Amino acid sequence: MSDDEPVFIGIGEQPSGRYPNRPFMGDLVRVGVAAVADAGLAMSDIDTILLIPCLHSFADQADLVFSRVVEELGLSQRIKSSYLVHSGGSTSDNTIRDAAGLISSGHARNVLVLQAEKWGSAPVNEMIDMLTANGIPREWEKDSGLSFNAVGALITQRYMHASGSTPADMASVCVALRTWANLNPNAMYRDRTLSVEQVLASKMVTDPIRAMECPMLADGACALVLTSAGNARRLGRDRWVRIAGSGGCVSHYSIGQERDLAVLGWEKAAVEAYETAGWGPQDADIAEIYDSYAAVLASGMEGLGLAPKHEAARQFARGEFSPGGRLPTNTNGGLLSAGHTGVGGGTALLTEGVRQLLGRAGPERQVEGATRAVCGGSGGTYMDSQVLLLEGVSA
């Protein structure tokens, strides 16, 4: 690979859950310091900061826009650029594309990507209002009472009808993710097991989605450090992660304009990504795919070629994506069990993919020999499907 190719060399993460005494800016600083140290760099080596937005507070997001993080990290007068990228749950994918372009062009040498969220500690009613008002077309769908749980329910109904999947099949997706979360010390539900029976016995929220099939709002933070392959070699890093392929599809704004809620834009995004990488879904060792609801994950797995069409939920039920299965999937527990950290849910999945390919997931969760990862995010009312294909590279 060429010396100017962008690569990941460091990660950082804070535990997800409810941590009202953990300040937002403090989380950003701590996770940034951890990622830079993991990369083998000094903080003064960072010349560009890209920020993932938060949803819990307009004031905190304004601080991100206006570069408070630069000052908090002691980097005033040292940073070339500090800015925020936003496309909802797919922000991490688009931010990494920005970072890669900055490094390849020579504008940036070492890029720090930062994300923190206080969703779990924010006032619940305010967050519900926010999720009902934003991303839902105001002219028609908002007035009809559509909310994000209702959007998830429409996708689930369509997927179950198209695939013939049962409520137990859908519940098994949540159970599989919980088994991964039980192995992740940073997961919100690391200490709680889950069964299909528990899921099906939980309260109906929006037919056919039950309470334990909804993502729990969480606090959390994570960070990634990117540099060039040449710089990684000079630093003496023994392993890094390259971006092998990239693809995307923006399919709609209004959920009523999506042609098939059981498909979304994953298939189009996948074609572009695999063609760029020169390898296909059969070559993947792990998958980290957006999973705010079981059907969103199932349709993503099928659209990305990681499961036969209409079979993903049943394959989850058979344990094919669980620990020890044929394709470890959402190995941090995903949004459904590691915790939904807002826009950061996709960032946490991407961070987990990089962690696995760097071989740093720990003895219980590390997928042995993992070299290739399929990572995917989706924003808004699943308006887009974004794919990054990652490869671990040894020096």
**46-95 pLDDT, tens digit each:** 999 999 999 999 999 999 999 999 999 999 999 999 999 999 999 999 99
Res 264: pLDDT? 95
Pairing of strands 111-118, 48-51: parallel
- Per-residue pLDDT, averaged over 286-315, amounts to 98
Strands 384-394 and 219-228, by their bridges, are unpaired
Yes or no: domain 6-122+218-234 corresponds to CATH 3.40.47.10:
yes
pLDDT (0 to 100) of residue 128: 81
Is residue 160 over pLDDT 80?
Answer: yes
Asked if residue 114 has pLDDT above 80, the reply is: yes
pLDDT 10s digits, 211-250: 999 999 999 999 999 999 999 999 999 999 999 999 999 9
Going by the DSSP 8-state scheme, the letter that residue 89 receives in this structure is: B
pLDDT of residue 11: 98
Q: Which residue has the higher pLDDT, 314 or 254?
A: 314
Cβ pair 56, 158 in contact under 8 A: no
- Domain chopping of the chain, boundaries: 6-122+218-234
User: How many other CB atoms sit within 10 Å of the CB of residue 18?
Assistant: 15
Q: How confident is the model at residue 1 (pLDDT cuts 50, 70, 90)?
A: confident
* DSSP H helical ranges for the chain: 24-38, 58-65, 68-72, 91-105, 124-133, 148-163, 167-181, 196-201, 229-234, 266-277, 294-303, 312-317, 334-337, 344-358
Q: Are 167 and 208 in contact (CB under 8 A)?
A: yes
Given pLDDT bands bounded at 50, 70 and 90, which one contains residue 342?
A: very high
**Can you give the pLDDT at residue 138?**
84
Q: How confident is the model at residue 130 (pLDDT cuts 50, 70, 90)?
A: confident
Percent above pLDDT 90 for the chain: 92
